[in-house]
Structure 1
Amino acid sequence: MTTTEAEELAAVRTLLTAIADENGELPEPWASAIATVRRHEFLPRVLWQWDGDRYVRIDAEEQPTQWRATAYANTSVVTQVNDGKPVEDGEKVFPSSSASAPAIVARMLGILNARRGERVLEVGAGTGWNAALMAHVVGPQNVTTVEVDAEAAGQAAVSLERLAPGARVVVGDGLLGAPAGAPYDRIVVTCSLNHVPEALLEQTRPGGTILTPWSRPWCNYGLLHLTVRDDGSAQGRFHPYADFMPARGQRLDLRIFRDVVADHHQPTESRTSVAPDAVAGDEDFAAQFALALCLPDLWFAWHENPAVEGVVRRLWVATVDTTSWAAIDEMEDGGDMFTVWQHGPRRLWGEVEAAWAWYTAHGRPGPGRFGMTIDADGTHQPWLDSPGTPL
């Protein structure tokens, strides 16, 4: 065994231990898949990582040790920025594609529970590693992966041809699925969806399953695991802990001062005892997830030090159609009452207060108590505990 091979084996063992520490012992056949299908083989030469202030490059040729450590760390890593366009000096960098943390990859594969011989469709090929892991278990000829970004798809196809020959890469909008290979026993989505497209329901055989990260404008969190029924509808429950980039066709690009608030707006003033941090704070994503299901077309943004006397932080809430907004102020002197400013046909903070009251009255349920029914016509209905208690 060469030094490089020994280092790779040690890195894989360390990664498997980290996955087990987070998820519990990784069951077969997925442990063997991760041990065999090496993550670094699918990553691009240049990675990007957040350093607390900005995204910085990690180049495999210039920083080989750091690049290798990043490849086998149990964290997500950005594999593409700015939708693949060249980054000029001083230009703002935003992530547009990433390789998910291995622990969440392993957990999703365990939930998906694909078995040898089953046909699997993946929406979002990314680097191709996830497709290769599934190919190791179900057989490469049974894996189809769709990628909207042609450059990323090309790189994934090269890696899969070398390491999982027979897996099929399709360039296109994954929200349309890949009808040529349908029906599928399992569909797994590696970007977050705010609704499940009818095409994916139609391309899943009755009794088959769809697993997707979930998002709403209020919160990007949770995994939805659906079983498709004979009539084309689907039903299933949520699992906690997932944060994926949104599907490109479902991105929400809104900014408070560019798109929502105008100089001529004359807001009304009121007071509230519901703390902004309770409904939109970073420490309680379970609360954000529940409110997101209750408030499907609302989003929020924080404004630190808004240059308003006595105000240290302001929470903005707005509708996705930008017609209504609310601003809630946290004051220097603290206190348990907060000033609310609202504009537009809807009283948004009243809607948030009602959702918060419902959430607390039901014992602050976590994501695992929620589920979703999707009718054959595409109507989505979330529920708590059982389909008989819709939100």
Structure 2
Amino acid sequence: MTSRPPMPDEALGDLLDQIAEHLGSPVPAHLSAALRAVPRHLFLPPTLWLRDGSGDYEPCERETAPERWWRAAYRDVPLVTQFAEGPDGTRAPSSSASMPSVVVRMLKALDARQGHSVLEIGTGTGFNAALLSSLCGAEQVTSLDIDPELTRRAQRALKASGQQPDVVCADGAAGWRPNAPYDRIIATCSVRTVPLPWLEQTVTGGRLVIPWDTPWCNYGTLLATKQADGTAEGSLAPYGSFMLMRAQQVDAELRGDIPHAGREPERSTTSLSPWAVAGSDLDAQLYIGLRVPGAWHMWETEPESAHVRLWLADGRTDSCACVDYDGQQTSAFAVSQYGARKLWDEVARVYEEYVAVGRPGVDRHRLRIIPDGRSTRLEVSVPTA
């Protein structure tokens, strides 16, 4: 016999307290009202996948573990709701319920109010679409998801919640012209390049809130305003780590392919620690990611000829590099670079620049999104303090 899970009001009160603690201030009244009007548990599947403490996930079933399931539903944590199998047979999360405090941060930045027309890219569970409907009116909200099964689940959950925005199964990269233009566009997946249709379908003065990604670092959220000349300008906020939009995923990165076999490298040493560029300093990682195009990295903890190895690669070319730690001294590290592009040299130069300009935080970056043919290009600057 199982004991009674918390009542919705009790659980929601706890969640609002957790979010406020994370934000460092109370949840704004209009967002608190939306959260109270839209119970999160209605949008979660019977099986949630929770961290097991060893880097993997374990299922949590509402039927057999209702208390644990309910606690997870109203904790300020992201929840994996679906897995997909990769080309090598491994599985990886393919959909999740975002961390509630990040949801609140993004909605606060979006500043969506009654009467605003909103396009959401990435319906997922439908929870965010329901919150947007509460804030703006369901008839003003269009939500897109490329996954047919997720779309159907979200439509059912939204109907059960009493909110029925226009939910469409479509590739979000193209936006949705039938309901354009939009006063606000928000994405619940990250991008490396803002799709041109998103700019074209936003009104002048409209707001875009888009999680950002580079091959080097998945972190930060673009807060931008559409300009009269068709560009969008804004800054990055220091929160958000979302799954990359499917249309922009690179197979080589997904598989972890490092094209070095049978090739002779250019060898050298460096005094720059690999942990400086690919460790816990997210400001450094973002700076590098914005300025070393295409470069990504992965750690190898049991290489044959080193104690720990940092691999660097470019998913668009056959260039790669590695930096080895011998497990003893940290004043010099062995470097091997393969191919025409000297990736470690590029990363080291950009890191030196990062230090020279004062180690700017994520929110110091100014981004300008510029239409360029059928896509957009990015200009990045860091204004002097």
TM-score by length of 2: 0.94
Structure 2 unpaired stretches of 5+: none
3-state DSSP class of the match of 2:240? coil
Structure 1 outlier segments of 4+, above 6 Å: 3-6
* In structure 2, distance between residues paired with 1:259 and 1:240: 30
Change in 2 beyond 3 A, CA 1:7/1:196: same
Structure 1 unpaired stretches of 5+: 86-90
Pairs within 5 Å for 1:129-168: 129-168=127-166
Report if aligned partners of 1:161, 1:167 keep a CA contact under 8 Å in 2.
Answer: no
Pairs within 5 Å for 1:335-346: 335-346=330-341
Change in 2 beyond 3 A, CA 1:227/1:259: same
* In structure 2, distance between residues paired with 1:258 and 1:320: 10
1:385 maps to 383
Deviations along 1:222-277, one digit per CA (max 9) or x if unpaired, are 00011111222111111002111111111233259973334320001101111100
3-state DSSP class of the match of 2:212? strand
Letter in 2 for 1:107: R
Report if aligned partners of 1:114, 1:138 keep a CA contact under 8 Å in 2.
Answer: yes
Q: 1:306 aligns with which of 297, 303, 307?
A: 303
2:342 maps to 347
Q: 2:324 aligns with which of 305, 323, 329?
A: 329
For the aligned residues, what is the CA RMSD? 1.9
Report if aligned partners of 2:76, 2:99 keep a CA contact under 8 Å in 1.
Answer: yes
* In structure 1, distance between residues paired with 2:247 and 2:77: 25
Report if aligned partners of 2:337, 2:343 keep a CA contact under 8 Å in 1.
Answer: yes
* In structure 1, distance between residues paired with 2:106 and 2:163: 23
2:293 maps to 296
Q: 1:319 aligns with which of 314, 322, 325?
A: 314
* In structure 2, distance between residues paired with 1:157 and 1:72: 21
* In structure 2, distance between residues paired with 1:376 and 1:332: 48
1:57 maps to 59
3-state DSSP class of the match of 1:22? helix
* In structure 2, distance between residues paired with 1:240 and 1:258: 27
Report if aligned partners of 1:313, 1:330 keep a CA contact under 8 Å in 2.
Answer: yes
C-alpha displacement of 1:5: 9.4
* In structure 2, distance between residues paired with 1:21 and 1:215: 26
Pairs within 5 Å for 1:19-58: 19-23=19-23, 24-51=25-52, 52-58=54-60
* In structure 2, distance between residues paired with 1:338 and 1:346: 20
3-state DSSP class of the match of 1:340? strand
Is 1:232 the counterpart of 2:235? The answer is no
Report if aligned partners of 1:314, 1:330 keep a CA contact under 8 Å in 2.
Answer: yes
* In structure 2, distance between residues paired with 1:217 and 1:137: 34
Deviations along 1:41-72, one digit per CA (max 9) or x if unpaired, are 11111111221242211111121111111111
Letter in 1 for 2:370: D
Is 1:372 the counterpart of 2:335? The answer is no
3-state DSSP class of the match of 1:20? helix
1:363 maps to 358
* In structure 2, distance between residues paired with 1:162 and 1:99: 18
Report if aligned partners of 1:256, 1:316 keep a CA contact under 8 Å in 2.
Answer: no
* In structure 1, distance between residues paired with 2:60 and 2:127: 19
2:14 maps to 14
3-state DSSP class of the match of 1:215? coil
Change in 2 beyond 3 A, CA 1:157/1:336: same
Report if aligned partners of 1:136, 1:164 keep a CA contact under 8 Å in 2.
Answer: no
* In structure 1, distance between residues paired with 2:101 and 2:210: 16
* In structure 2, distance between residues paired with 1:48 and 1:345: 43
Deviations along 1:139-178, one digit per CA (max 9) or x if unpaired, are 1111110011000000111111232444110101011111
3-state DSSP class of the match of 2:359? coil
Report if aligned partners of 2:4, 2:67 keep a CA contact under 8 Å in 1.
Answer: no
Deviations along 1:72-112, one digit per CA (max 9) or x if unpaired, are 111000011117x9xxxxx7431000000100000100010
Letter in 2 for 1:19: I
Letter in 2 for 1:16: L
* In structure 2, distance between residues paired with 1:183 and 1:255: 35
* In structure 2, distance between residues paired with 1:258 and 1:64: 37
C-alpha displacement of 1:221: 0.2
Report if aligned partners of 1:55, 1:93 keep a CA contact under 8 Å in 2.
Answer: no
Change in 2 beyond 3 A, CA 1:338/1:5: closer
Report if aligned partners of 2:134, 2:163 keep a CA contact under 8 Å in 1.
Answer: no
Q: 1:272 aligns with which of 270, 273, 281?
A: 270
Change in 2 beyond 3 A, CA 1:9/1:298: same
* In structure 2, distance between residues paired with 1:255 and 1:247: 14
Alignment length (residue pairs): 376
3-state DSSP class of the match of 1:114? coil
TM-score by length of 1: 0.92
1:88 maps to none
3-state DSSP class of the match of 1:221? coil
Report if aligned partners of 1:256, 1:301 keep a CA contact under 8 Å in 2.
Answer: no
Letter in 2 for 1:55: Y
* In structure 2, distance between residues paired with 1:29 and 1:238: 24
> Which has the higher mean CA deviation after the structures are superposed, 50-59 or 219-228?
50-59
2:83 maps to 81
* In structure 2, distance between residues paired with 1:277 and 1:117: 48
Letter in 1 for 2:377: T
Is 1:209 the counterpart of 2:211? The answer is no
Change in 2 beyond 3 A, CA 1:330/1:129: same
